[in-house]
């Protein structure tokens, strides 16, 4: 019997007009630092680029158009573990469709996956076969975006909430896809709910042992790339993680108060982690980036999303539990994280490892078509291994 605590309630996204007006006022009143015209992305977001993007956010970006796009997909909320969890949910017309949970990462949002939903749910309309159809569930992780601020959450608790969500929707067997924090949560779901999990489709397995120059095989291009990227991350790109893993509160207050601070903190990640070369617009449109940034802004969730790093700080480098859940890896060639098969096999039931042709960290956001195709190909292998 459905109660107030288990009810699934239709949801329509509508940011109050006062919040949009206040945002534009703040953007127009930004106090900018001294600009060095010769400074590039190696110092962070260039001031000239930030000024231009902020001006577009204030006077060119149409949030209401994005709301209409987002609201074209059925959305719901349901209360799990004391928190209202937001999610998209689209059922296929195919009776034997495979339930699929798509999990975003940080600093991501479930809206990244919207272009994938049509081909997943209705493969016949997109060149696929009827047997490749999915029922798609795309939640907002508690503490992120539309699910609202949440303190005391980390991947284990989020995994329990996602297991509860799929059970509440009536799915007894399902697949999980995730990247970044979504991959951590997905792997944990494989440990918590193995009986109901067909398998995992991830872009990487985070935490646990990392290869070093001493332990890697330099003749293996994947292992050599893993070491190279790990060095770059540690000495060039990982400063954000050190702050978020140790002192997220001070930065969280600053980014919650400053839209340009939030904008540049997130756009720097889009630039560094994607397949972008010159600037993030090589990969994402301005409207795509600003939709994600706006969701973090209007729902004031940057701090609580960053706290996941603090909560996860103790798991890095710790030997993970052995997972029997069938695992498919879709390696993105421009991602900083490089999933090394022999390392993954130590603690996981790796049944498929594929290097996609292109794409960076934000896998389905950058390359929705490739991700849909790989999910279609991977699920039969996951079923066979289960």
The pLDDT tens digits for 284-343 are 999 999 999 999 999 999 999 999 999 887 666 566 789 999 999 999 999 999 999 999
Are 346 and 304 in the same domain? no
Are 45 and 143 in the same domain? no
Residue 118, pLDDT score: 98
Q: Which of 233, 223, 229, 294 is nearest to 262 (CA)?
A: 294
Q: What is the mean pLDDT of residues 25-31?
A: 98
Residue range(s) defining the domain that contains residue 300: 17-29+40-64+230-312
Neighbours of 18 (CB within 10 A): 8
Residue at 217 is within a domain: no
Are 254 and 371 in the same domain? no
Q: CA–CA separation, 189 vs 331, rounded Å?
A: 20
Q: What percent of the chain has pLDDT over 90?
A: 89
Work out how many domains the chain is built from and give that number: 2
Neighbours of 333 (CB within 10 A): 13
CATH number at residue 167: 3.40.50.1820
In 60-113, alpha helices (H): 63-71
Q: CA–CA separation, 94 vs 131, rounded Å?
A: 8
Structure tokens at 221: 């291009």
Residue at 126 is within a domain: yes
Are 75 and 179 in the same domain? yes
Q: Is 180 left (phi over 0), alpha (psi -120 to 50) or beta?
A: left
Are 76 and 206 in the same domain? yes
Residue 317, pLDDT score: 56
pLDDT tens string 262-284: 999 999 999 999 999 999 999 99
Q: Model-level pTM?
A: 0.96
Mean pLDDT rounded to a whole number for the chain: 95
Q: What is the mean pLDDT of residues 102-122?
A: 98
User: Torsion angle, CA of 224/227/233/234, rounded to 10 degrees?
Assistant: -160
Residue at 370 is within a domain: yes
Residue at 7 is within a domain: no
Contact (CB, 8 A) for 375 and 351: no
Residue at 5 is within a domain: no
Question: Which of 255, 278, 312 is where one domain is finished?
Answer: 312
Are 304 and 324 in the same domain? no
Residue at 225 is within a domain: no
**Residue in the block written with tokens 């998209």:** 88
Are 361 and 322 in the same domain? yes
Residue 17, pLDDT score: 98
Question: Which of 312, 341, 366 is where one domain is finished?
Answer: 312
Longest dimension (CA), the chain: 64
Burial class (CB in 10 A: 0-12, 13-18, 19+), 374: buried
Structure tokens at 286: 């301005």
- Ranges 23-32, 92-101, 168-177, 226-235: which has the least confidence: 226-235
Are 258 and 308 in the same domain? yes
Neighbours of 67 (CB within 10 A): 16
Question: Which of 258, 279, 312 is where one domain is finished?
Answer: 312
Are 48 and 82 in the same domain? no
Are 78 and 174 in the same domain? yes
Q: Which H/E stretch holds residue 198?
A: strand 197-202
Contact (CB, 8 A) for 378 and 352: yes
Q: CA–CA separation, 111 vs 66, rounded Å?
A: 10
Are 83 and 175 in the same domain? yes
Q: What percent of the chain has pLDDT over 70?
A: 97
Q: What is the mean pLDDT of residues 232-257?
A: 94
Residue at 222 is within a domain: no
Are 278 and 181 in the same domain? no
Residue 315, pLDDT score: 66
Q: Which of 139, 71, 140 is nearest to 100 (CA)?
A: 139
Residue at 21 is within a domain: yes
């Amino acid at each position: 019997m459905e109660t107030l605590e288990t009810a699934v309630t239709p949801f329509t996204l509508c940011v109050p007009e006062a919040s949009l007006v206040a945002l534009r006022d703040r953007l127009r009143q930004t106090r900018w630092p001294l600009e060095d015209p010769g400074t590039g992305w190696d110092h962070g977001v260039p001031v000239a680029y930030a000024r231009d993007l902020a001006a577009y956010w204030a006077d060119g970006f149409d949030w209401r158009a994005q709301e209409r796009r987002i609201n074209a997909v059925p959305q719901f909320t349901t209360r799990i573990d004391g928190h209202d969890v937001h999610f998209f949910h689209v059922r296929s017309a195919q009776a034997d469709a495979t339930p699929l949970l798509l999990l975003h990462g940080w600093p991501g949002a479930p809206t990244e996956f919207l272009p994938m939903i049509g081909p997943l749910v209705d493969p016949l309309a997109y060149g696929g076969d009827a047997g490749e159809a999915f029922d798609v569930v795309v939640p907002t992780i508690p503490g992120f975006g539309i699910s609202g601020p949440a303190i005391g959450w980390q991947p284990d608790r989020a995994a329990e909430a996602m297991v509860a969500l799929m059970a509440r929707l009536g799915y007894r067997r399902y697949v999980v896809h995730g990247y970044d924090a979504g991959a951590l949560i997905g792997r944990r779901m494989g440990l918590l709910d193995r009986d109901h999990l067909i398998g995992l489709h991830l872009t990487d397995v985070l935490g646990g042992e990392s290869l070093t120059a001493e332990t890697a095989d330099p003749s293996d291009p994947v292992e050599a790339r893993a070491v190279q990227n790990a060095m770059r991350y540690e000495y060039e790109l990982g400063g954000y993680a050190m702050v978020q893993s140790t002192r997220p509160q001070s930065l969280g207050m600053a980014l919650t108060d400053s839209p340009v601070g939030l904008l540049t903190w997130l756009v720097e990640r889009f630039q560094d982690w994607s397949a972008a070369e010159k600037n993030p617009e090589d990969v994402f449109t301005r409207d795509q980036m600003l939709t994600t940034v706006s969701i973090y802004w209007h729902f004031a969730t940057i701090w609580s999303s960053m706290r996941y790093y603090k909560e996860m700080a103790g798991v890095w480098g710790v030997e993970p539990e052995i997972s029997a859940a069938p695992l498919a890896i879709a390696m993105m060639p421009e991602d900083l994280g490089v999933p090394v098969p022999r390392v993954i096999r130590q603690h996981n039931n790796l049944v498929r490892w594929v290097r996609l042709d292109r794409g960076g960290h934000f896998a389905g956001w950058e390359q929705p078509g490739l991700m849909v195709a790989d999910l279609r190909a991977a699920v039969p292998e996951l079923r066979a291994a289960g």
